[in-house]
A = this chain, B = another copy of it.
Amino acid sequence: MAKNLAIARFFFYLCIMMNEKLIFVTNDDSYASKGFKAAIEVARHFGRVVAIAPDTVQSGKSQAITICDTLRLKHISSSEGVEIYSLNGTPVDCVKFAFDYFLKGQKIDLTISGVNHGPNSAANVLYSGTMGAAIESAFYGVPSIGLSNLDHNWDAEFDTCVEYGIRIAESVLSSDLPRPLCLNVNIPILPVEQIKGIKACRQTKGFWIDNILERTDPMGGKYYWLTGGFNNAEPDAEDSDEWALKNGYVAVVPVQVDLTAYDQLNILSKTLK
């Protein structure tokens, strides 16, 4: 079985070398993050890499775009097959800037966004800048993988993320999965050999309960910090991403870009006058 896999991989990379892919990489933790380097490591397996990431941390920026301000690009480094830039905008700005300007006219085969420092499972998908960029890419018809490490730490280990990022990117590039395709991939804090497998899941139902911290500044003025935690409304649901992560699986949720609640259309048509 392992031999078959090795042979399959050999032919897969042979095909890639003969028909080199263009992989776009971005994230929301900035170009300086360890997770960004891990995402580039994943992307390098498949061909040429162009990476444009925010110049500062853009966590929680969702699908925000910069309308009222200007953007500036900075070249960070170039080495064989890998070009890295920073942009003073949001993750979605990076996608738009790359797809409609910097790489305009070139066929982009895949976007890898991340690897995020911290989970983007369940409702986090709505706030995440990493997933905002992944959703944006899918909008352009370019399949995307948002990768998130459950470990928040700036010096987190990314070996498991790289290993599974490569596996999932292989599946996306070598199969006829439907389009638009945007995968929200979360990876438990476990060494590779302890991962039980990859599980396709749905977004866990639940919501954030925010804890607004009130503080007083040295001048006597009040200010606040937004903190909180996710309240899982269905901890025992085996088809949810939170369950998969708690049970040692890499959780993959396919994300849609059409927000219409189709099941409510009929009743709305009857109710609204």
Give the B-binding residues of A (Cβ under 8 A).
57, 59-68, 70-73, 89, 92-93, 96-97, 99-101, 123, 125-127, 129, 132, 135, 139-140, 167-168, 171, 175, 177-178, 181-184, 198, 200-203, 205, 207-212, 214-215, 221-226, 228, 252-265, 267-269, 271-273
Contact = CB atoms under 8 A, between A and B. Distances in A.
18 contacts: A60-B65, A61-B62, A62-B63, A70-B224, A71-B226, A89-B226, A96-B228, A97-B226, A100-B211, A126-B259, A167-B273, A177-B271, A202-B265, A252-B268, A254-B261, A254-B268, A255-B260, A256-B260
Contacts of A272: 167-168, 171, 198, 200, 252
B63 A59 contact: no
- Most B CB atoms within 10 A — which of A63, A89, A129? A63
A65 B60 CA distance: 5
Main secondary structure of the interface of A (DSSP, over half): mixed
Contact of A72 (B205, B223, B267, B269): B223
B62 A177 contact: no
Contact of A62 (B64, B125, B178, B211): B64
